[in-house]
Amino acid sequence: MELVQQSTAPGASSSGGGGGGGGKNEKNSQYRQLRQLIIKLSMGDQIVLYRSHQEVQQVCDSIWRSTHKRLDFRQLEQELSGEPLGYFLNNMMDHFRYVYFTADRLQENLNVLERAGIKSLNNVQHCELLLSQDPVPKQKTKRQREAGAGDAGLGRVVGIAAVLGGSMMPQWPLHALPKMLRNLRRLKVHCEVQVHFIEQFPQLELLVLNGDVAQSALTGILERCKQLKRLFIKCKKAPPNLHGISTCHRLQDISLPMTLFLQARDQVLALPALHLLELTVGGQKPEMAIECLRYVLELKANIIEIVQMNCACFEGPYWMREAGLGLCGRLQGLVLNNCYFHDREITELNMPRVENYLVLSGCPDLKEYQLLDMIKKCPTLSELYLIDCPLLTGKVLHGIYRIRCSEKLDYPISIILSRCDTISKDYQDTYADYWYFKLPVLKLDRLLEENRPIEDMQLFFYKSISTE
């Protein structure tokens, strides 16, 4: 970066009393710096640079625009400072799409932009307010980037950023952000919010609140952010209420602590575009989780498409029956993580019929007869995910094969495994002589990419025609 800045930035004016001397000294300094850079190159690289020196700026512009789509203040000042930093920011200000501010040093971040003469970042659509102790994220894969904020994993398994909580920090610099980021659409906040500023982003579509938020600030957001489609309230200490939520007619995906949901459950479930409802457990008693789930199922069971549950808060499997999970009549997918079955008959649990895929992850006591009963309950399954189910062996495959043959379906069931080594070994040992000929009925795959396990309760509703 410094090479291009020094070789292309205009020197000081040489006109007028004594200006020539200053300009000559600066030119000599630039020459020495450039010489120190070039002398480190091999002769071959020096020749390439010599022959194409007029293209260097264009090449650097292309490199910067492809590698620095994100303006990250946690890294920026470690790489550049002073005049080169200002030059780089001015060169790139129209190309940044993401900005990562350090929330507890926000005024310092804003000062950097001010010194560079930058008053706004009009093309930035995604902003995160992080804390100094937050690690710099690793580069995501293309698949993860395409999934978008809040979406990852099997089917529509949703992964949300971990709760980082808030800290005592100056709030007044936050007021500068709406003017700086005029076209912001996605905002993730990891610090506390005590002042009104978020509602001043008129195009905001996604908001993630990981730090504590004041009630008045949240009410302002709900009353004025009319373009909001996705709202994730992940703070440790939830505000008392959701006043204004009933007017958020475009809201599709919402994540709430269970205590907050119970306070406004009728208004939340009445949202016309509601597609995802995530309820965070947060150390609450299992009775509260069952109460929340039961209430949703009593009103919305016939339009629930997918249920994803972290069952760690339940002592056994009877929560399915107590919550009325069997009421779901059109369930396409069911994901159960950390579920204990305690040698109970599946018919006792009022488990629902699942049409498309079933995911059983981290089920340490799941037995073969229980899994076979689930297959009988869900005869049209196309995919079965078994992740970390240590009691299952290759024998269960023969049972699944017999059940599928009796159903006379024209498509196989795909069984996707991870950390079920006994099943994998038994299948591979007999594949050539036996399972190869059964592929039209049953086939085995390995989960190629591990996904973050479900942490809370997630319910997906069928989208209405008007919202698609």
- Domain count for the chain: 3
Give domain status of residue 275, yes or no.
yes
DSSP symbols for 281-326: -TT--HHHHHHHHHHHHHHHGGGEEEEEEEGGG-SSTTHHHHHTGG
Q: Are 310 and 457 in contact (CB under 8 A)?
A: yes
- Residue 206 shares a structural domain with residue 346: no
CATH of the domain at 337: 3.80.10
Chosen domain end from 67, 86, 102: 67
413-418 and 383-387 as β-strands: parallel, antiparallel, unpaired? parallel
- Residue 216 shares a structural domain with residue 150: yes
Determine the pLDDT at residue 149: 37
CA distance 365 to 79: 52
Give domain status of residue 291, yes or no.
no
Half-sphere exposure of 359 (CA within 13 A, CB side): 25
Give domain status of residue 410, yes or no.
yes
- Residue 402 shares a structural domain with residue 459: yes
Give domain status of residue 51, yes or no.
yes
Chosen domain end from 280, 310, 337: 280
CA distance 350 to 319: 10
Determine the pLDDT at residue 142: 43
Give domain status of residue 295, yes or no.
no
CA distance 404 to 413: 8
- Residue 131 shares a structural domain with residue 214: yes
As given in the structure block, the two tokens for residue 224 are 């004025």
pLDDT averaged per 10 residues in sequence order, the chain, 468 residues: 36 41 69 77 75 75 81 83 85 91 93 92 95 63 40 34 47 95 96 95 96 94 96 90 94 95 95 96 83 96 96 92 94 96 93 96 96 96 96 95 93 94 93 95 85 86 70
- Residue 100 shares a structural domain with residue 249: yes
As given in the structure block, the two tokens for residue 222 are 């709900």
CATH of the domain at 200: 3.80.10.10
Give domain status of residue 325, yes or no.
yes
- Residue 276 shares a structural domain with residue 312: no
Give domain status of residue 249, yes or no.
yes
- Residue 331 shares a structural domain with residue 268: no
- Residue 366 shares a structural domain with residue 411: yes
Chosen domain end from 67, 83, 100: 67
- Residue 356 shares a structural domain with residue 208: no
Give domain status of residue 261, yes or no.
yes
- Residue 43 shares a structural domain with residue 4: yes
Domain containing residue 386: 302-468
- Residue 117 shares a structural domain with residue 38: no
pTM: 0.80
As given in the structure block, the two tokens for residue 315 are 């002592």
- Residue 228 shares a structural domain with residue 362: no
Instruction: Specify the DSSP element, H or E, that contains 70.
Output: strand 70-72
Tokens 């970066």, residue located: 1
Please tell me the chain's helix, strand, coil percentages from 3-state DSSP, rounded to the nearest 5. 40, 15, 45
Tokens 């709406």, residue located: 178
